[in-house]
Structure 1
Amino acid sequence: MPVLALDVRLARRLASHRLDAWAPYDSDLNATVTLIVGELTANAVTHGRVPGRDFRLCLSLDRVERLVRVEVTDTRGDRMPPRPPSTPPLPDAEADRGLCLVAVLARRWAVLPRTDGGPGKTVCAEVAV
């Protein structure tokens, strides 16, 4: 399992580095989007993984709409996240906080079928710039 944790850590680092071109490392936008990337990629690794296949991360900046879009695609279409997320976890709970955080921090988020013909789903979140 350490390799999978490294994938999530690497995704967060790559996202933060890419975001630095749009928002400095120490900005709220960079921190918020990096946190969302971490939560969505952790969910992809934990719940959407098929052995031998990885998740895909895509970040885009829409200057017209003034938002950053995060898309994390996995290869399991049979495990859909709850929409909306279940009730907030208890204060001492050690899991099930990810989508609650995404729902609070993102302008909107959604689960979409893959459009490239592959198996799985894409979870996307949009954050206002």
Structure 2
Amino acid sequence: MTTTLTTLIIGIVIVVFGLTTGLILVLNVTKRLRTGQEKMQNKKEILKFGMPAEAIIQDIAETSSRMDGRPGVRLDLLVTQEDGQTFQTIVKTYIPIIHVPKFQRGSVIDVKYIEDGAVKKVEVVDAYIP
């Protein structure tokens, strides 16, 4: 009798643990998807409503990520605003394959930016946004 009760308790613990772990996994995946969608929406808003500027690529490094077959890159940019002032920024984005030759160290690219308090959020005009 005690063996059956022990087996039943162990089974219940395993089921509860499995359900809890599954719930945590689903919540984490949902949160990551929502965060990714919010980031994409912010990128689109910057590209739609942002101030146009030019940027010099000071450094470019490929990241390990890809989106729809496009390589992810980290761009170290020197942005020149319309009034002539400059600022440094780093942008992580995805580049369509046909635009890769345009993205080299020293190249000038078009960007848009939005000032959010003391922070300037920058996006690359020719970047890939799904």
- Tell me if TM exceeds 0.5: no
Question: What's the TM-score, normalizing by structure 2?
Answer: 0.27
Question: What's the TM-score, normalizing by structure 1?
Answer: 0.27
Normalized per residue, the structure richer in helix is: 2
